[in-house]
Amino acid sequence: MSRPVLWITRKLSDATEQRAARDYEVILNPEDRVYQADEIVAMSAKVDAILPCHSEVFSKDVAGRLSDRVRIIANHSVGVDHCDLPALQARGIVVTNTPDVLSDATAEIALLLMLGAARRASEGDRLVREGRWVSWSPSFMVGRQTTGKKLGIVGMGRVGLAVRRIVSGLGMEVHYSNRRRLPPETEQGAVYHDSVDDLLGAVDVVSLNCPSTPDTLNLMDARRIGLMRPGAILVNTARGNLIDEAALAEALRTRHLFAAGLDVFKTEPSGNAELALLDNVFVLPHIGSATRETRDAMGFRALDNLDAFFAGREPRDRLV
């Protein structure tokens, strides 16, 4: 019996590609190039399954043109905003993702962004690297301390809960906003707010950990940024389109916000040139889940879903 043909759209971890080659007829992408819509459609005629990343966009148009041969799209990501799920479901294509395995790595980056923004890490790094650190005084590079402050988590899902856990050593009082209140045993003393608006003015740091949906597009617009406490810090490890970047830049220039820590942007790759010029922004190139351990775990989780599907079982992480 012939093995299913699997297209892995990007360069994944060695362990993932080796396991895939053991069990499937694999088409790899050693050059790690990004495939565009027409190329995705053309490749779909050659494969039974696709293992993509968020860089491959399965829009309504693309979903409608995919070959009938494609039976499953096993995403190498948690977020699936690059997939038009109703359109893929209408084609009878199963879609899965990789939850759980990247929560801790993303929470680590959220902590790094929060501390980097609060302690002016980008500004200090540039001073040293550019040879401009020529003096010291008690008023030099004074930042904000996060220990004992109030942290607001927007979206208390897997990553939000991991952020709550990882900041526990800082003694931060955790507040959160979520689609529904968590049970007490999960909440563990965190303060629930039934709206994002109510949360924003109650905390010193806001961490965005909610999914990208039509309802969360530009969630942090000028009005909501204005609701944040003067001198607050905004952290985003979720998706770039949660923030109105022009409004954020204005709030940082006027010092309504003390700083921001950003791992994601509306335009990726490249980010936002206006924000990158500001000293009070600590930026990273979307590396929230970029650890060796997490990359292996994500690849294996995607392959687990494929294995289950082709064995006639329900994939663990089926979305449609």
**Same domain, yes or no: 304 and 178:** no
Same domain, 91 and 141: no
Give 134-156 pLDDT, tens digit per residue. Answer: 999 999 999 999 999 999 999 99
Q: Domain range for residue 122? A: 103-283
Does the annotation count 286 as an active-site position? yes
Tell me whether residue 319 is in a domain. no
Please pick, among 54, 120, 193, 239, the residue that the annotation labels catalytic.
Answer: 239
Same domain, 250 and 149: yes
Catalytic residue among 17, 187, 250, 268: 268
Distance CA 85, CA 94 (A): 9
Q: Is 129 a known active-site residue?
A: no
Query: Is residue 165 domain-shared with residue 263, that is, in the same domain?
Result: yes
In a domain, 94, yes or no: yes
CATH number at residue 232: 3.40.50.720
Considering the domain boundaries, does residue 253 fall inside one? Answer: yes
In this structure, the answer to whether residues 214 and 150 fall within a common structural domain is yes
How many Å apart are CA 287 and CA 26, to the nearest integer?
A: 26
Residue 206 lies in a domain: yes
Number of domains the chain is built from: 2
Please check whether residue 318 lies inside any domain of the structure. Answer: no
**29 lies in the same domain as 120:** no
Could you count the other beta carbons within 10 Å of the beta carbon of residue 256?
15
Mean pLDDT by 10 residues, the chain (320 residues): 94 98 98 97 98 97 98 96 97 97 97 98 96 97 98 98 96 97 97 98 98 96 98 98 98 98 96 96 97 98 98 98
Catalytic site residue 76? no
Residues 94 and 140 in one domain: no
Predicted TM-score (pTM) of the model is 0.94
Q: Are residues 265 and 195 part of one domain?
A: yes
Query: Residue 207's pLDDT is what?
Result: 98
Flag whether 317 is in a domain: no
Is residue 316 a part of any domain in this protein?
A: no
Active-site residue among 19, 164, 286, 295? Answer: 286
- Assess whether 133 and 236 both reside in one domain: yes
CB-CB contact of 246 with 221 (8 Å):
no
Cα atoms in the 13 Å half-sphere on the side-chain side of 184: 0
Tokens 């980056």, located at residue: 109
Same domain, 70 and 158: no
